[in-house]
Structures are given as C-alpha cells and as structure tokens.
Structure 1
C-alpha cells in the first residue's frame, strides 16, 4: 500500500484512479468519418459534444479527458488528446466533410489512437460507409477485450443509398449492406456497446445515448444479444441505489416488446408514453426512460422478434464492480496474476471481482456482500479475499461467449436498516478458446510456455499475426506447425524494433494472434511496452527546513485567530532532472513556491506554507521529472521542527503503463509458443 500511495503522489489523484480503473469521471472519445457525405453527422457530433462540455463543465460529471480521431480515405488524424475542453471544442469545430470514396479506412483508428482503448474507455464512432480494413477485426477485438473498452457505432443510412453532396466531392452512391454493418455489430457486441442504425435526419434522436453514457457513475444493470433472434423474457433487478434508469432495445422495425414492473403493471412498445416509461424511437433504436417510482425488485422485458436484437439497461449508482481474469500459481502463498488473452474452454477459470462504492476508498467496502457471480448461465463458488475483493472459481468452462453478472447485497446505506439486493453486469464479453498463448518475461525476451497434450498424432497448423499500434518494424512467421509428438506446442519468434527517432515515453501495444487453420478459433496476447531512454536520476528530492514559526497559542480555543508558517528548500541535486511539482499531502493551509539559484548551479525551490494554528501539521511531497518522490513534514509550536524524508525511487527501467521495456534502437525478440487443446 505504501508503494501505491507513492505512485498516487507522483501521478496525482485523478490519474491514479484511472490507472486503477476506478475513476468516476468519463472520457469523451469521438472517432469521426470526415468524407464528403458526413456533413450532417459532423454537425451533430459538434452539437452533442458542445452540449456535454457546456452542461458538465465544473461539475463532478465533467469528462476527465477528450479524444478526437478524424479519419478519411485513405488516412486519419490528426489525433487530439487533451484535458482542455476549449481546445477540444476548437479541434472538433474545425472538422469538415470532404473527399473520400466508396469505402474508408475504418478500424485503423485503434492504431491512430492507442489511448482510445485505455482501460474502460467509452468510444463513439460516426460513419456511413463500410470498412475496407475488415481484416483488422480480430486485432481490434483482442484490444477491446483486453482493455474492456466499450464501442458504440453511430451508423447512418445503412439501408439507403448514400447521397451525393456536391459533384466536386465525387462521393459514390453506394449502400452499406447488412453484411457491411454486421462487422460493426460484432465489434459493438464484443465490447458491450451498441450499433445504432439511423437516417441522417434522425441522428439527433439517437445521440442521447452518448449523453446517457457520459453521466457520472454509470453502471450496466443488464445486457443481452440474441442472434439469431427469438421471442424471450428477460429479468433484471432494480435496487434503491439506482437512479435515471434507461433501457435500450435495438432490432428490426417489426420488433415488439412489453415492460412489466414488480407490481404487475405492464406497458407495451406501442405506448410511447405510459405508466412505466417514455419511449422514443430512432432507426433501429428504442430508448426507454424508465419511471421506477421506487419500485424496487424484479422487472421484466418480453421481446418478440425473429430477427437479431439487443437489450441493454443502464443506470447511475454508487455501487459497481470491475473484474479481471487471473491465473493461479502453485506455492505456499497461492498467488494469482492477471491472465492475458482468452480462457481455455473446458478448463478452470478464476475471476477476481472488485466491488466499488463511489463514496468509499479505492479498495471497496466490506459492507457489500457478493451472493452470486455467473458467466451468464453458470455460477461458481465465491470466496471473499477482503476489502471488497472476491475470488470466483469456474470449473470446466464450456466453449462459447459469456458475460460476467454479479448479484449481491448492499449494506452500506445508513438510511436503510436491512441490506438491499442488487444486480450488475460487465459490458465486455468473455470468449473461450482451445488455443493457449501465454507469456513469461526473462530479461528482454518473452517466452510463451503453456502447453497442453494433443489427442491427435498428425500435424496441425496455426496462422500467426503480429500488429503494433506505432507501425514499428516487426517480423514474425505467418504460420507455425504443431508436429506430431510435440505435446501440442509450437514455437515462433516476433521481433519488434523501436526506431532511433522514437521519443522516450512512447507507448507501444503489440498484439500477437494465433488462429487455427479453419479460422474458427483464435486467441491472443496483448503486450504493452514503453520506449525509454536510460534513466540516470535515481535519487529523491532533498528537503531542508529553513524555518517554522511558533506563534500558535497554547489554548486550542484561540487557534483560529493565529497563523503559523513553514518554509523549506527543496532541490533535486546537481545531476537531478529537476523538481516537477510540490503538493500538500497533509494540512489545510496554502502553499507558494519560487525558484532561486543554489550552490553549484543546482536550482532550489523555496516552499512557503501558511496555515491556521488549528491545523498544526504539514506534509509536502516533491516529485522530480522522472517520478522520484521526496516528502518533508513540519509541525507548529516546536522549537525544532522534525523533518522526515521518505521517497520512492524510480527504477532505471520503469514504464508508465505497467508493461515492458523497449529500448530505443534495440530489437525485442519475443519467443512465442502456441499450444492447442484439440478436441
């Protein structure tokens, strides 16, 4: 915990919460097609983004960051990533529709914007044309599953011919076929997002989904996709912590549904305004704004359709969870580590559930009890491991696609005498595989060593693909063969080289995919690296107390009328990289800093802290430009102020992403062993 606290000091509270996947602040991420027929869509993207920024500025719901990725045929960019709302508004306001042809570079936005798929990002893609880089589908799916990003597609004029705006734009009149749109539906399904298909004139009605998703503390209560479609009934639990409950149903125009409350009141899809919900329709989307009226308990949605459809229920709540697939390691301590890639079908899967309460610490709450965790239709034994963390074991996971659904009891409310039942669901789906791609790190080489015995004595082959989001030079075999007698394993090597021009701190994501010859099964490993220059500053900033006033009265009843001051000199030494920031970690006073020239050309930062005598302790934290942290503490009413120094020292090869090191102008050899569990 001390290490985590030092990391929190170095990166700041907001960045730390996002690093841990616990931030309640959303990220506004737009990926926009800017070819000639997209002028209406671009105008709507501007309208909805401006409305979100202006309405949430200065509130807890204000987006943490803003990302914009425009793309055209054949290129993309420039990519805008900023925390400055006005700069983002200026960037999106400069977009205009021009050029383009029949098909666009669509899926390449992940290469243009690796930060778009940071942990639990919410991404909105606007386009009206099919993708011509559909071969990247498996790579994008791997990144989505690994990062748990949610992608929603705004698809306009899927069934109608694309209109010609101007003759000079030479926009080809072509339809986006249902087969073309299916690619987007598949990616949306994998991520827990939606593929919304509307006319350009109805796009304004559909973008309410964006505003709903970017509210604070949004949770998924229930989500399901039926493909092929069939009539079905779906139950979901409404608890007292939920507010602004919204349901989305996408499907063919012939789809009908009924909504039923816990008290037995019903409303049909033909009633746009009824006792349970207000329903708006835009294209294939039905948006239900539910009127729960404190009707907690089991609600039901009955859908009647033979065509594919989806149902999603979201709300705002202080109770949520995150999950991670983990692997068990033998030994006295029974350790677990994060598992990369998909779990193996027929094998045991372990999932760590972390329950979060928005009003409590990042480690969760013991007042929330998990009663059941299911992979959609099968549950596993749940073991509490403390601080709101739960370990769930699933034995013999069958082949297929699953989502993690959690039920529990919330006893954290002070206004209720008994715990209330709740239900939450993860957005990203889990898909099993019979192919194993695992990794172990040793120096600069990664070995993939997991093996399973094959039941077959003849050769089998796997296609191998390696892609990285920086277009760095890499080499890898196109296929590998598992010979008889090899015990079901095969070796391959991927070489990735960072160019000499790569800036230190550049993040690189390498995706390695292994697919069987029939193209019916695939697994992957997503590896994240940072390009780093050699770090020579491994010493902490030094703090020297200059003075501490002792003017505080002995009686605490008189403290409000008096002030005390603490002054300290902080330096990073002659060979240091320099002090980046100084913050107050303890104390309620004000801090002012100035820089003066010190001895031997070392700059000295003078920190002056002033506070009421009612707050007589202070702790300052100084962070240098490579992340070394030094702390100094002072106390009022003492003739000699005790100054303590503690620090976290940046490792020589520390990365900002928790990944691996990729040195400038050096190659990384990645030895890949792919194993298959043949049936």
Structure 2
C-alpha cells in the first residue's frame, strides 16, 4: 500500500494535518489489521486471499471457454495483475482496490466495534458461538450477493473474515499439527470435535519469556482444541486455562502465566505466526469459495469488485413538466446500454430513483440492463402543482444504495422542497466519494421557456434554488448544468463521457464569487481522451495554453488544442494533447460563479480513507465515522491503483475551492 501520488481536497475550509499512520506495538489482540511489519496482518491475509481466489475463479472461467490463463497464482499477486489476467486488458483497478479496501477496513473495524466480544475473536474457548457468527455472516453475504447489494456484502464479508482468521491465531489449531483449515467453522452441519472441557487444564506457565512448551502435553496428545482467555479489565480465568498473552491481557499474569496467540512474530507463540497466517489465508479462500458456489461466478466477481465499468445511476423528477427530460434520460441510457452491451465497458449495474412531491422512490437496483430499460421506460410525467419537489430525498436514497465512487445524475426543473437534507447529503457524498451532476432545465436564467411535449410549462428556479444544487455538485466533484429543455440532449454528452472506463478527475476548481483566474493542470503519458468542462453563466471567456506554448481562445470553436461546444451554461472542450504532455493552463474570465473540471481516462488513480486512531488493547486505525472537526489532526490512508511503479513524493490537502488529481508529484 502506498500513499497517493495525487493532490486531494478536504471538503472543509480548515487545513488538515497529515500524520504518519503507525500501529502500537504490544497492544494488538489479533493479526495486526492494517500496517506493514515483519508479520502478516489482517489486511495482508484478506488481500492475498481475495486476489488468489478471484484469480482462481478467472482461471476456471477461462478454462471452461477454452482460453489461456497465464498468471501464476501465489501470495505475490497484485490487483493490477489479477484484473488484467481476468479482463484481458489494462484498465483502472480503482473499483477492485476499493472493494478490497472495504473488506479489510471492515475486517479491522471488528477490533473496535466488538472489542470485548470473546466469540468475535475465538477467545475464551467460545468455539460454538464463534462458528455461529461465521455461518450466520456467510448466509448474510450470500443474501446480499443474491440481491446484488455488493457493498453491504463486502462489509459483512470483512467482519466474518476477521473472526475466521483469528481462530488460527488464538486457538491451538496450529500447535496440534494441522496443515489445513478447519472446514467445520464455515459448515454448520459439521460437528466441532475434541473441544477441551470447561474444567480441563490446558496450559502451564511460560518459563520467563519462553512460551514454546506451555500447552500441556495431554492436550496435544489427545488433540484437544482450546483457545486463550483474554481480559482487559479482569485477570480471572478458569483454573489451568491458557491465556491469550500480551501486555494488554490481564489474564496472562495469572497462573498459568504467558499466552498462546500468534498475532505477530513477537507474540507468545510468534514462532508459529507464519503458519497461522498461511492457514488463515487458505481458510479465507475456502470461505470465499463457499460464497462463490452459492452466488455464481458473475455475482461473485461483482462482489469482489472486479468490474471496470461504473454504475449508471439516474434520479429523475417525474412531475408533469418533466416529460421531455424523462424522454432524454431514456434516450441516453438506452444509447449507453445498447452501445456497450456485451463489451468490457457495459455498466456493472443500474440504479433508478424517481421523485416528485410528496413521494420519492421506489429505488430500482439491478445488473440486468433489460430490467433497467423496462423500469425507466415505464416512467411517466404527471402531477406537480407547487414547484418544489423531493429532490434531495430521492438523491439520499440513491447515495445510500449506490456503491462508492459512483456518479449520479439528477434530472429536475424544480427547486428542492427538502432543503433540510443538505448537510445529510454532503455527509453521504463524503463517505461514499460519489459524484453528483445535476441536469437543471428550470433555471430562471433562461428567458425563453418552451412548453413541454405535454403542453406543460417548465418551472423557473430562483438563484438560491440553483445555488443549492451547485453547492452539492461542487462538494461531490460533479457539476450543475443549466440548459433549456430543447438543449438537454446536447448536455447529456457528459453522461456518455462518464460512462467510459477508467475515467479520472485530473483537475477541478471553482470560483464563487467569480473572478478571472488561471488554472494549471498536468497531462502525462497515461492520460487519454481528455475533456475539460467549464460551467458558469455568460458572459464568460477562456483561453487554453498547452505545455508547448500553443494557445487557443474561446473565439475558436475548433483549433489546434481543442474543439468545444456551448450548451446552456456548459462549455465542453475535447482536448488534443498529442505529444504535449506537461503543464497546461486554462484561463477563465468571468465575474459570475463558475466551475472548471478536467477529466481523462487513465489506469492510474487513487483511493483514500479518513481513519482514526484507537488506543488500548486493540491499538489500531479504523474508518473515521462522521465529519472531521476543525482544530485537530487527521490521519489519511491512501492507496495508489493501477500502477506497480508509481512512487509518491507528495500528498497535499486543499480546500474544496481547488481539487486536483495531479500526477506531477509522482515518479514512475
């Protein structure tokens, strides 16, 4: 795992401190969840198992089709290697990496959420309850996969993987000489055999720091299964029982002293750490295989996040004046579906949320393009007496269902009635890292207001109503595009652009209030199909200058650097960057608020998560819940995707006024 090579923003006005993310030695009660050392961590174990099992499934699929599969499956796989072998092409691994990260971060969270649950860690000989947690969790994962709720499935999967992996570190399964996983832990129909009785002594005290032979010979000879007792606050344990061990375990100070855990190579039984971790990897793969058999190959691969294509997500106002907008949403979605069906760029899923007033929903989420077509085709425009609609409620529903890093398109010609949800929407945007683009056809800036095909006049939005949508778009890295209904079909080119594979945001900045300004962004060799967008009311002019010093102004709709179109408040520039890598400049002159965004296609990207430190028995970092508070430090976990060679030299936090993915701080 590497820090990102990209500058990135925090959506608060305060500057955050980037602090070094460290684990706390001696305070770990399980395989250390996130951080590199000489020991294997929960992150390592989960990541290795997911990559190996995914590669195995791809190999089996290739064999069934008579295709070659040239990839050595071992513990040294990377997401890029697996994805290329599975999809037969180089493409962005951000969705794959994000899926893996969601699993191992959910895994790490068990040490915080269930700190005192012995069964979650197989402590205190809680084998039956621990097995119940795993099998019930596996059932939940299978149900989520069947319902195509892959994000929830990954969270559940990460949690049960933690419990399963802890079995091999906290029990004496390895000490008993076992070389294969204990399959009964994921199969409720199989009995758990040879469990040490409640009154059966299992350990003797370690000799100083040497715990090599502290498990009683009778336990080993009779092949009795036991696990260490653990207590943060109390030292009591049944007479003669083994302890977990470590400075945080108070039971390990009571006779028999010492412990048997294998969480790290420095643990009480650290000499068996690598064997325990290797068994944990194979046990996790066995669990994943059980899920695959139930879910099928297609759903399993989607659960693992192996898809290069985004979800197509529409939130649509269905009131009477929206008939033209609904027809355009149908047209553009059908175009994307039909053009990409059966290709590697086919959307991995579809989400539709209608809204009006007072209703919103129901949400439709499917991976079946024909089901989505049928649902969007059945939308009709009707009703809508007063202008404001439940736009934010519909958006909230979409944000809670869409996978992270989704791009959501909301169509409306009316202000939002539920403005009280603004902060909730921003919090969801921040936690899911999704982008929202608003297609607004009721802005008051347009003087000519054409009646719809149903002879219903579109509704005008005030400047403040439009500003709400602009604020949410800016917070998410999206846009608020204002067009007339007759121009909407030209503006939806943005949706087609975003549906391409491996689209990344190279640069984004806003100016509110507006002022003339120069914006620099870097083009490198990995970027293709670069598009710049400027959204803002007229009068607005711009000029573009390449890294070689060539310039083009907004008076030239087609020139040496770009061709551009203007639709409503949107200017779309298709850049010609051939042999002109390096620093480019886009200069904008306007006194009205505006937003600049540059996108391209690249295999290199990054994911980041805000994490927080937890002290105590499970010293670790987990996902930060809620929004950051000003005046404090923050830890950021950043991962580069799509490159084996990019090295990070700088990470910079900027305010929401300037957002950028700039690879000029990376070395290859």
- TM-score w.r.t. structure 2 length? 0.54
Distance 1:271 1:344 in 2: 47
1:150–1:188 Cα contact (<8 Å) kept: yes
Corresponding residue for residue 407 of structure 1? 663
Deviation by residue 1:570-595 (Cα, 9 ceiling, x = unmatched): xxxxxxxxxxxxxxxxxxxxxxxxxx
Q: RMSD of aligned C-alpha atoms?
A: 2.6
Counterpart among 529, 536, 551 of residue 266 in structure 1: 551
Corresponding residue for residue 360 of structure 2? 76
Is structure 2 residue 357 aligned with structure 1 residue 61? Answer: no
Corresponding residue for residue 524 of structure 2? 239
Distance 1:8 1:283 in 2: 50
2:353–2:398 Cα contact (<8 Å) kept: yes
Counterpart among 367, 373, 389 of residue 645 in structure 2: 367
Corresponding residue for residue 378 of structure 2? 94
Distance 1:54 1:349 in 2: 45
Distance 2:560 2:502 in 1: 26
CA positional deviation for 1:8:
5.0
**Distance change (3 Å), C-alpha of 1:125 and 1:166:** closer
Distance 2:409 2:497 in 1: 12
The SS at the match of 1:286 is strand
Deviation by residue 1:174-195 (Cα, 9 ceiling, x = unmatched): 4211111111111111111100
Q: Which has the higher helix share?
A: 2
Pairing of 1:315-326 with structure 2 (within 5 A): 315-326=600-611
1:222–1:236 Cα contact (<8 Å) kept: yes
Deviation by residue 1:31-59 (Cα, 9 ceiling, x = unmatched): 11111111111111111101100111111
The SS at the match of 1:59 is coil
Counterpart among 560, 568, 571 of residue 286 in structure 1: 571
Counterpart among 324, 335, 338 of residue 40 in structure 1: 324
Counterpart among 422, 432, 454 of residue 137 in structure 1: 422
1:69–1:112 Cα contact (<8 Å) kept: yes
Is structure 2 residue 403 aligned with structure 1 residue 127? Answer: no
1:197–1:285 Cα contact (<8 Å) kept: yes
CA positional deviation for 1:70:
1.4
Corresponding residue for residue 309 of structure 2? 25
Corresponding residue for residue 454 of structure 1? none
**Distance change (3 Å), C-alpha of 1:307 and 1:130:** same
The SS at the match of 2:500 is coil
Deviation by residue 1:58-100 (Cα, 9 ceiling, x = unmatched): 1111100011111122212332211111111121112221111
Counterpart among 453, 467, 481 of residue 182 in structure 1: 467
CA positional deviation for 1:351:
1.0
**Distance change (3 Å), C-alpha of 1:192 and 1:287:** same
1:197–1:283 Cα contact (<8 Å) kept: yes
Distance 2:453 2:498 in 1: 35
Deviation by residue 1:623-663 (Cα, 9 ceiling, x = unmatched): xxxxxxxxxxxxxxxxxxxxxxxxxxxxxxxxxxxxxxxxx
Is structure 2 residue 583 aligned with structure 1 residue 327? Answer: no
Is structure 2 residue 503 aligned with structure 1 residue 218? Answer: yes
Counterpart among 643, 654, 659 of residue 376 in structure 1: 654
Corresponding residue for residue 543 of structure 1? none
Instruction: Provide structure 2 residue ranges, at least 5 long, that are not aligned to the other structure.
Output: 1-43, 51-284
The SS at the match of 1:123 is strand
Distance 2:537 2:453 in 1: 32
The SS at the match of 2:586 is strand
CA positional deviation for 1:231:
1.0
The SS at the match of 1:61 is coil
Corresponding residue for residue 255 of structure 1? 540
Distance 1:375 1:20 in 2: 30
Distance 2:658 2:517 in 1: 18
The SS at the match of 1:220 is strand
**Distance change (3 Å), C-alpha of 1:319 and 1:405:** closer
Corresponding residue for residue 599 of structure 1? none
Counterpart among 133, 149, 158 of residue 434 in structure 2: 149
Distance 2:579 2:403 in 1: 36
The SS at the match of 2:416 is coil
Q: Which has the higher strand share?
A: 1
**Distance change (3 Å), C-alpha of 1:405 and 1:246:** closer
The SS at the match of 1:108 is helix
Distance 1:184 1:303 in 2: 22
1:225–1:309 Cα contact (<8 Å) kept: yes
CA positional deviation for 1:23:
4.4
Deviation by residue 1:121-157 (Cα, 9 ceiling, x = unmatched): 1100000001111111111111111111110000013
The SS at the match of 1:373 is coil
CA positional deviation for 1:104:
1.3
CA positional deviation for 1:406:
5.2
The SS at the match of 1:351 is strand
CA positional deviation for 1:113:
3.9
1:61–1:216 Cα contact (<8 Å) kept: yes
1:249–1:312 Cα contact (<8 Å) kept: yes
Pairing of 1:491-570 with structure 2 (within 5 A): none
Pairing of 1:189-200 with structure 2 (within 5 A): 189-200=474-485
Q: Aligned pair count?
A: 381
Distance 1:298 1:403 in 2: 16
Pairing of 1:464-503 with structure 2 (within 5 A): none
Deviation by residue 1:555-574 (Cα, 9 ceiling, x = unmatched): xxxxxxxxxxxxxxxxxxxx
CA positional deviation for 1:292:
0.5
Instruction: Provide structure 1 residue ranges, at least 5 long, that are not aligned to the other structure.
Output: 358-364, 378-399, 412-418, 420-679
Is structure 2 residue 578 aligned with structure 1 residue 300? Answer: no
1:249–1:311 Cα contact (<8 Å) kept: yes
1:122–1:150 Cα contact (<8 Å) kept: yes
CA positional deviation for 1:106:
1.1
The SS at the match of 2:392 is coil
Corresponding residue for residue 490 of structure 2? 205
